[in-house]
Amino acid sequence: MNDEKNKLKETFELSDLLHSKRKDEIIEGLEEKLSEISEVFVKTNTFHSTQNIIYRLKERIKRIREIVKSRLNLDLNYVEKAMIPFSDDIYQEIYKRVSNTIESEIDYARNKMLHFCRNWPYSKNYLELIKQILDKEKDVLIKNTKRDIQIYKMNRELELKENKITTEQSSDYKKYKYKCYYKINIVGKDEDLKKENYIEIDGNGIELSENNFLIFMRLILERKINEKGWVNIEKFIEETELKLSGHYQLISRLRQNIQKILNEKETKELVENKKSGFYRISTHPDFIVYIKDDLIKDYSNNKLIAQIVNQLPEI
């Protein structure tokens, strides 16, 4: 037990060293950039303005996000390289380390911004604005960290399954004739990347249009609740009273969207068709992951997608 703890301690120490170097690279040039921002407002005689505050905060937040991503990715990668078995305790320790980074970086940014405008006229209003923006960003970073760790955990479990496909899964491939072994991660909205309708196929990310995402999610739902997974897209369009072009064009556009990360043959195998109007996602349902609670929040204002998301089984 002590040997394992020492190994983990040494692994995190190495991660810390590299993170420190990476952080220096990320914040390099920050002060110069902030000076450039303020110079613009000096020229327009609007130095003491909300916009000056917001632009400076945006620049700091952009770098904070990079620093947090670096912290998380280095910890995950070095634990994996050290061949330390991932456990819930390990994931929790990584989350704790990233959370500490978020706390310290947000606090540092807050102090720097408070110092910057402490002597401004009506500074109290600006101080409250700074607090609101940074508190909101902190919540987003915490949420995204939880999500990213969960996605990493699920993808890792899928990789282990793929390396040794179960007897039951092998039987399913023979019985239902799935054509692919792709691992699909339904992200939804990614605030770090500023992406919507975002999915990953074997780790390669792509943003779908709203209509493409709707059709894709309908196929995903059927794949998760029905072993065969076939969907009559034309009937789906009629039932939802969508004012869209025919199902051939819709599927064609979806495939074209996906072809940004897969070739034409691979895409047709993934989005498989058997006869007029019937399509499915042709990979094993075990290889499709998502965080349902996040998707519900992301699409609470989109009635059609929300209806599909709410029917997804818990993983």
Residue 277: band (very low, low, confident or very high) from pLDDT cuts 50, 70, 90: confident
Contacts 24+ apart (CB under 8 A), 13-20: 14/78, 15/74, 15/75, 15/78, 18/74, 18/78, 19/70, 19/71, 19/74
pLDDT of residue 207: 95
Query: For residue 97, how many C-alpha atoms fall within 13 Å in the half-sphere facing its CB?
Result: 24
- Both tokens of 122, joined, read 């009506």
Instruction: Write down the pTM of the prediction.
Output: 0.57
Q: Which residues sit opposite 199 in a β-bridge?
A: 186, 206
pLDDT of residue 254: 94
When pLDDT is averaged across residues 200-205 and rounded to a whole number, the result is: 89
List CB contacts of 159: < 8 A, sequence separation 6 or more.
183
Q: Is the pLDDT of residue 4 over 80?
A: no
- Tens digits of residue pLDDT in 295-309: 999 999 999 999 999
Residue 194: band (very low, low, confident or very high) from pLDDT cuts 50, 70, 90: confident
pLDDT of residue 191: 77
Q: Is the pLDDT of residue 160 over 80?
A: no
pLDDT of residue 124: 86
Provide the residue ranges of all domains of the chain, joining segments of one domain with +.
Answer: 2-163, 167-311
Summary mean pLDDT of the chain? 90
Q: Is the pLDDT of residue 58 over 90?
A: yes
Q: What is the spatial distance between Cα 211 and Cα 213, in angstroms, rounded to a whole number?
A: 5
